[in-house]
Amino acid sequence: MDAIVKTFPGKDGEARPTQAEAEEAVRTLLRWAGDDVTREGLIDTPKRVAKAYKELFAGYEQDAEEELGRTFEEVAGYDDIVLVKDIPFFSHCEHHMVPIIGKAHVAYLPDGKVLGLSKIARVVEIFGRRLQTQETMTAQVAHSIDDTLHPRGVAVMIEAEHMCMAMRGIKKQGSTTITTTFTGAFKTEPHEQVRFMTLVRGRD
Ligand SMILES: Nc1nc2c(ncn2[C@@H]2O[C@H](COP(=O)(O)OP(=O)(O)OP(=O)(O)O)[C@@H](O)[C@H]2O)c(=O)[nH]1
Ligand SMILES: [Zn+2]
């Protein structure tokens, strides 16, 4: 089981905040930002934000390893690289809670079993829909596949723009952060890494 970061009751027996408490928290932030929470346009905003949070952070309710549980063995001995590239995702940085927008490239070297391709994209989605650092997310995607499928190796590359660097703070728009995690043969065999990179970078 992958460690779902926060389940209720929490470690300290804390119950999940109610919808009303979540809405009140949004109202507080709106007032703190300087707006009037009683004006027409904002009346329903706390409710909408709480609903949006449910969707944007749905990954806390999902278990990546459960998604990866179903595998297929009838692949005529196929044992070469399987790469799903350019999987788009949105996440939120855990420091500022603003968007991280990027693409993930995920590959593995099968050892008798393969995954449904959509499951790879689902795993990116599950870890993306939590508060993240890019490094953590990259490692989580790789290790969840490694731990459930036990392939000969997993390679994950994430390329993303962090809105906390673009919209605030240092305000550098358009910079991309690249992170990689390699396991198994991708870690020990440089030529497997090169093949992964070539396939990721190769354009039509
Ligand atoms: N390593 C890593 N850092 C991240 C990620 N997302 C955001 N950050 C950085 O987290 C850091 C937090 O730094 P702090 O100095 O605690 O916060 P801050 O004062 O808001 O920093 P500034 O962004 O420099 O204004 C910043 O350098 C962000 O750019 C990520 O996915 N990985
Ligand atoms: Zn940030």
Residue 68 lies in a domain: no
CATH number at residue 7: 1.10.286.10
Residue 84: strand pairing partners: 106
Residue type, 199: L
Mark whether 184 and 86 lie in a shared domain: yes
Mark whether 118 and 189 lie in a shared domain: yes
Name the residue at shortest CA distance from atom 4 of ligand 1.
Answer: 133
> Phi, psi (5° rounding) for residue 94?
-75, -10
CATH number at residue 79: 3.30.1130.10
Residue 3 lies in a domain: yes
The response to whether 96 counts as a known ligand-binding position is yes
Residue 62 lies in a domain: no
Residue 33: strand pairing partners: none
d(CA 127, CA 130): 6
Give distance in angstroms: CA of 133 to centre of ligand 2: 8
Name the residue at shortest CA distance from atom 3 of ligand 1.
Answer: 133
Ligand 1 pocket member 162 (CB < 6 A): yes
pLDDT for 68-125, tens place per residue?
Answer: 999 999 999 999 999 999 999 999 999 999 999 999 999 999 999 999 999 999 999 9
Closest-approaching ligand to the CA atom of 128: 1
d(CA 109, CA 114): 9
10-19, 141-150, 153-162, 173-182: least confident range: 10-19
Burial class (CB in 10 A: 0-12, 13-18, 19+), 157: buried
Mark whether 126 and 35 lie in a shared domain: no
Q: Within a 10 A sphere around the Cβ of 55, how many other Cβ atoms?
A: 8
Residue 66 lies in a domain: no
Q: Positive or negative CA dihedral for 83, 86, 90, 95?
A: positive
Mark whether 92 and 28 lie in a shared domain: no
Give distance in angstroms: CA of 93 to centre of ligand 2: 5
In the chain, pLDDT over 90 holds for what percent of residues? 89
Mark whether 34 and 8 lie in a shared domain: yes
pLDDT for 167-198, tens place per residue?
Answer: 999 999 999 999 999 999 999 999 999 999 99
> Phi, psi (5° rounding) for residue 164?
-70, -20
Q: Is the pLDDT of residue 9 over 90?
A: no
Mean local confidence (pLDDT), 152-178: 97
pLDDT for 10-64, tens place per residue?
Answer: 767 788 899 999 999 999 999 999 999 999 999 999 999 999 999 999 999 999 9
Q: For the chain, what is the domain count?
A: 2
Q: Is the pLDDT of residue 1 over 50?
A: no
Find the domain containing 40 and state its range.
1-56
| Residue 14: per-residue pLDDT | 83
Residue 10 is encoded by which pair of tokens?
A: 């929490």
Residues 6+ apart with CB under 8 A from 134: 100, 102, 158, 160, 162, 177, 179
Ligand 1 pocket member 172 (CB < 6 A): no
Residues 190, 153: contact at Cβ < 8 Å? Answer: no
Give distance in angstroms: CA of 97 to centre of ligand 2: 6
Mark whether 77 and 149 lie in a shared domain: yes
| Residue 7: per-residue pLDDT | 64
Q: Within a 10 A sphere around the Cβ of 171, how many other Cβ atoms?
A: 8
- Which of helix, strand or coil describes residue 84? strand
Q: If we measure between CA atoms, which residue out of 86, 89, 81, 99 comes closest to residue 167?
A: 99
Active-site option among 93, 125, 159, 173 = 93
Atom of ligand 1 nearest to the CA of 137: 31
| Residue 11: per-residue pLDDT | 66
Q: Is the ipTM of this complex over 0.85?
A: yes
> Of how many residues is the chain composed?
204
